[in-house]
Structure 1
């Protein structure tokens, strides 16, 4: 009988991170392993439906102490504005005693973590293995987290960086300065992640050799750690709750491949003028569209921020929605033909295994680097051009039309390349093979067998 292990998981208090950790937990639990999932108490109810193996995955709620500046109930990144991210990181740090008590009592074989760099100290003290789980691309990690990075040399990469077009350029290097902003008391984002990568037992990244082999090799050489790969870790379609009737019935009204779906993730909140440009750009395409984004700054609902007369003009063929949507199931709907997104890592993989044309509108540095990977390395998508960091409704509509028109040379080229990559990623046995290899490596790690 194959050996079973018990793993703790402690992701950053943001749903993009927690959901990915939970998808991994499901893959491990499916193979008989036990998982204790540490998360804010409030988040448990919102994630319970994604726990597919309740006998093997147990939620361990943490009490998040309120801090000055955090709103009541502000326990995850979705509960707060981006400006309070540092305070939330401090609140996460203050759960350290709870985490340490849980590890001491539960005696796990390993603990998966990301932004809480102090987990490695708890692991060593309790003779537990620590696994740093990278929740963004290896290409982004290779650029943003390399040892020795400083605010004054953001555009300088160390010797041996993979020959690649995946680089930040020009004004985009300014975006990297966020890595050195305070993120919790006495820490920056860069320090948290680089310390975690330097002090963990092994590094795990959500990717595959077919897409990012050279970046994974570079990461391992920079941090002198074994880099394990999980594969894309996408939820099984037959295990997902069916698409809500609200969207299924609405999209059924349109021709196959005609609807433009836009989603920018849970962290991106647009300024009102950019929110309106996004809406007007969708209107200009002349195509049916569904936009799922957060309300713009200084607006409590998306309706408050809409351009004058917009709702009446697009009635029947355009919807702007401010709440959560089932993104993978919407992408799988036959009427959806284009996906406009921020190129967050989850959206990146979901778009790659869809049949939709991909138009990218990145904001954060890791999203910019993911965009470079998809456009210039894999050549399967197109980016909306900006001037001084801003996009226009005209630029957005032109790009969407250019990939949607049947006779478009650009559209046909990216569609062809996209189809090849989708076929590669969905090749029978590829995803399960990565998880099986990961489990075998984790079992060796627990048994102190050298990982070659």
Structure 2
């Protein structure tokens, strides 16, 4: 084993980014290395339970500076609408002087980042290697590295962003070319100027795309695998009592669980369509989503008479839930989600049938890969003009995988089972993590040898 190193981490301040970074930090600390982890002060308490090595992983709390257009007190992407991503990034940029002073004082060996594109420049100035660690799919990264959105993607089967987003919300591609393109331009700049690229994926799923990224960026690409937390071991933690009790009241594989992460907010009418679609399935269900825009709670936004009609078989909550533990409950048979990066991996190693309703550009691209190419899930159809999904479309997608005689359901289940067996084959994921940390050790040792 190489000499011990010190890693500094500055992920995007969104739970969908910070949590995978913390899983990585745990693996690094497990091997005897140190980590300094930047966190928003307001989010530190939520992340602390996930820190398995508090003596080796030290949180460095910061407060985001105020920027015009950013809600007062905003600390993470959960505190802002999707349209405020640009000003949120600007606020994170304003921490540069503070972070540079900290890095200069600590002298870490590596700096991990994703959306903050000036980290490689800072690293070179201070003599610290930068690692662009991307938690989204390689398909998504490769898509945005493609030379031209008009010409199409150079790897067969993966269209350009413009083609890939066709048939979704009429504003989605425009949204991509403005806010999302702004963010992915930052990612692209970081990828092409960092010392090492690292991606949270497996060669068994996206090997060819990782090869394209390596060629396009002229950078070494390391794969960490999904980097699941140790708590993925079901015996180490129990599901919260009330959810466990409620789920125990239903037949095995009969419940539909629906979740969309911590930083996506539905419009009220689309949220109501989601609820009505779940009602139409006739199956027991649990919906865990953020309150829709303009509502302080999910309850006040529910369709009229909905709670009374689904009483006993359906629950809607705006609270945070233990998603992996719910997915592992024997009564849950279907998972409706947004195909966000962390959620995607949790869904792939579960026994649930998966139904995707992607909401952002990167999720749309990942859905194309897993629903159309690999056929391990189905997606909810959308209106050709508005891009919105209907309650009937949601019902049909769920029933297509939950009905025992459904041919689509049989194909998806067979493919999903095969992929899960591959991902959970003995030593595969732990092997990725071990080799990943070993590669980091080599990067540090090679630097020290000069």
Q: TM-score, normalised by structure 2?
A: 0.94
Are the structure 2 counterparts of residues 241 and 73 from structure 1 closer, same or farther at C-alpha, using a change threshold of 3 Å?
A: farther
Tell me which moved more, 376-385 or 250-259. 376-385
SS state of the match for residue 295, structure 1? Answer: coil
SS state of the match for residue 36, structure 1? Answer: strand
Native 8 Å contact 1:10 1:38 kept in 2: yes
SS state of the match for residue 233, structure 2? Answer: helix
Displacement of 1:171 in angstroms is 4.3
SS state of the match for residue 369, structure 1? Answer: helix
Structure 1 equivalent of residue 19 of structure 2: 19
Structure 1 equivalent of residue 136 of structure 2: 136
The answer to whether residue 85 in structure 2 is matched with residue 85 in structure 1 is yes
Are the structure 2 counterparts of residues 82 and 170 from structure 1 closer, same or farther at C-alpha, using a change threshold of 3 Å?
A: closer
Structure 2 equivalent of residue 234 of structure 1: 228
The answer to whether residue 200 in structure 2 is matched with residue 206 in structure 1 is yes
Structure 1 equivalent of residue 431 of structure 2: 433
Q: Deviations over 1:109-162 (max 9, x none)?
A: 00000111111111001111000011200001110233x55xxxx34236xx22
Counterpart selection for 1:331 from 324, 327, 331: 327
Q: Deviations over 1:251-295 (max 9, x none)?
A: 010000000000111222111111111101111111000011111
Structure 2 equivalent of residue 299 of structure 1: 295
Distance in 1 of aligned mates of 2:435 and 2:9: 19
Are the structure 2 counterparts of residues 198 and 91 from structure 1 closer, same or farther at C-alpha, using a change threshold of 3 Å?
A: same
How many residue pairs match? The answer is 440
The answer to whether residue 268 in structure 2 is matched with residue 272 in structure 1 is yes
SS state of the match for residue 181, structure 1? Answer: helix
Displacement of 1:165 in angstroms is 4.5
Tell me which moved more, 271-280 or 58-67. 58-67
Counterpart selection for 1:416 from 411, 414, 417: 414
Q: Deviations over 1:191-243 (max 9, x none)?
A: 21111011000100000110000100000111111110000111122386431
Distance in 2 of aligned mates of 1:113 and 1:60: 15
Q: Deviations over 1:274-320 (max 9, x none)?
A: 11111011111110000111112211111111111000011111001
Native 8 Å contact 2:353 2:402 kept in 1: yes
Instruction: Report the aligned-residue RMSD.
Output: 1.9
Runs of at least 5 residues in structure 2 that lack an aligned partner in the other structure: none
Distance in 1 of aligned mates of 2:352 and 2:51: 28
Structure 1 equivalent of residue 48 of structure 2: 48
Distance in 2 of aligned mates of 1:166 and 1:332: 34
Structure 1 equivalent of residue 247 of structure 2: 251
Distance in 2 of aligned mates of 1:301 and 1:123: 43
Structure 2 equivalent of residue 375 of structure 1: 371
Runs of at least 5 residues in structure 1 that lack an aligned partner in the other structure: none
Aligned ranges for residues 25-424 of structure 1 at < 5 Å? 25-146=25-146, 148-149=147-148, 154-157=149-152, 161-165=154-158, 168-172=164-168, 175-181=172-178, 188-236=182-230, 237-238=232-233, 241-387=237-383, 388-424=386-422
Distance in 1 of aligned mates of 2:340 and 2:402: 22
Distance in 1 of aligned mates of 2:317 and 2:184: 34
Distance in 2 of aligned mates of 1:354 and 1:22: 21
Distance in 1 of aligned mates of 2:179 and 2:325: 37
Q: Deviations over 1:61-86 (max 9, x none)?
A: 11322233323321111112223222
Displacement of 1:176 in angstroms is 4.0
Displacement of 1:373 in angstroms is 1.0
Q: TM-score, normalised by structure 1?
A: 0.93
Displacement of 1:40 in angstroms is 1.4
Displacement of 1:178 in angstroms is 3.4
